[in-house]
Structure 1
Amino acid sequence: MNIGVLALQGAYVAHSNKLKELGFDSCLLKTKQDLEKCDVIFLPGGESTTMLYLLKELDLIDMLKTKLKTIPVFATCAGLILLKELNILDIEITRNGYGPQLMSGIYPLDVNLRGSSFLTEAFFIRAPIITGLRDGSIEVRSSYKNSPVLIEKDNILAMSFHPELSDCNQIYKYFFEKNM
């Protein structure tokens, strides 16, 4: 399994480190050649506008969109925004919806991943709020303040928060068990 972490900007190192901690090798996605090799894609948090700009500059948009529709995708924060902006997930969001950097924080979160329920700490860093799900096949796996923060659709697991910063690895384990 070739796991690629989009490495144009943002928290890609934290995801790579978490994957290594869990026993998975990953490569950093920066080119079409990197993208061609991927069987799994991680879209990290960061600055989604910058990521979109760089994806366009590197002519990666079309190839990435094709991949995102067919292989397992794990997206956090800005990665969730990318999925919306690339029309992969039909959702409505408010960027930085939980407030500016000063209001970022760590909050307890109840998660339910197909029968496996657990409490985790969720790191919200200028996180987007999912304000609407326009696709009835999207499943809400966790909510915070009455808004979905962890959603799943087919090959995609996407969240507003940063699980790569938590000691809890259950979201990662679920993703890999589902997709291996």
Structure 2
Amino acid sequence: MGVLALQGDVREHAAALAAVGARAVAVRRRSELEAVDGVVVPGGESTTIDKLLRLFELDEPLRAAIAEGMPVYGSCAGMILLADRIEGGAAGQRTLGGMDVLVRRNAFGRQVDSFEADLEVAGVPGGPVRTAFIRAPWVEQAGPGVEVLARIPATTADGRDAGAAAGKIVAARQGRLLATAFHPEITGDVRVHALFARLVEDSRRS
């Protein structure tokens, strides 16, 4: 499977995929996209990735691949790019779309507001997933076809009120599209990548 290698934490995603037994290749060209059966859209800066997708002429081929059912996993900026609608986007910013969600950019605040948390994620066995939120988005609204996999709890593990983040959706799935507001690839917990690898394997069999 591929990792979109235009900007962001490409190496970390490739390592996480390798850890669950998947062979990851960098995708920068249309021919590379056409050679894979699933793609990870990594975290980074969503506006920059949007511009680079257009520059490398990958935006329309990737939209077409999503429409045709290719499994795609987007983390952080990748979640924004998979959303049909965004809030707080830059002027002219576009997404790849495919998920019936409204995503708010930088919902958790600035870089200094980054944090890690253990969250229960539906479809991921073995207890809470260690997650990292870095200038992360959240899902404001999700359509009826979207399966919510994780939300921010009302109180943190140390008993603090989660405030405006309480109850916000931070992991979701719609068909073969998977999105997380957090970065599992940098915490050493590869179970979300294992979930995506299963999605890709299921799509091969169908």
TMscore range, shorter length: over 0.9
Match of 2:137 among 119, 125, 128: 128
Q: Which moved more, 1:169-178 or 1:117-126?
A: 169-178
Q: How does 1:93-112 map to 2 (within 5 A)?
A: 93-112=103-122
The residue that corresponds to 1:83 in the other structure is 82
* Structure number having the greater strand percentage: 1
Larger Rg, first or second structure (1 or 2)? 2
Q: C-alpha separation between the residues in 2 aligned to 1:54 and 1:176? A: 26
Is the counterpart of residue 157 in structure 1 residue 178 in structure 2?
yes
> After superposition, what is the alpha-carbon deviation per residue over 1:82-113, rounded to whole angstroms, capped at 9, x for unaligned?
11222211211211101100010101211121
Contact 1:129/1:147, CA 8 A, preserved across alignment: yes
Which ranges of structure 1 fall in alignment gaps of 5 or more residues?
none
DSSP-derived class of the 1:53 partner? helix
DSSP-derived class of the 1:111 partner? coil
The residue that corresponds to 1:56 in the other structure is 54
Contact 1:123/1:166, CA 8 A, preserved across alignment: yes
Of all paired residues, the percent bearing the same amino acid is 32
1:153–1:14 distance in 2 versus 1, CA, 3 Å: same
The one-letter code of the counterpart of 2:70 is I
Pairs aligned (count) = 176
Residue 117 of structure 1: CA displacement? Answer: 6.3
The one-letter code of the counterpart of 1:58 is F
The one-letter code of the counterpart of 1:86 is L
1:117–1:151 distance in 2 versus 1, CA, 3 Å: farther
Contact 2:114/2:134, CA 8 A, preserved across alignment: yes
Is the counterpart of residue 118 in structure 1 residue 122 in structure 2?
no
Contact 1:111/1:117, CA 8 A, preserved across alignment: no
DSSP-derived class of the 1:168 partner? coil
What is the root-mean-square deviation in Å for CA atoms of aligned residues? 1.4
> After superposition, what is the alpha-carbon deviation per residue over 1:57-83, rounded to whole angstroms, capped at 9, x for unaligned?
121111100112311111100011111
Match of 1:138 among 139, 143, 146: 146
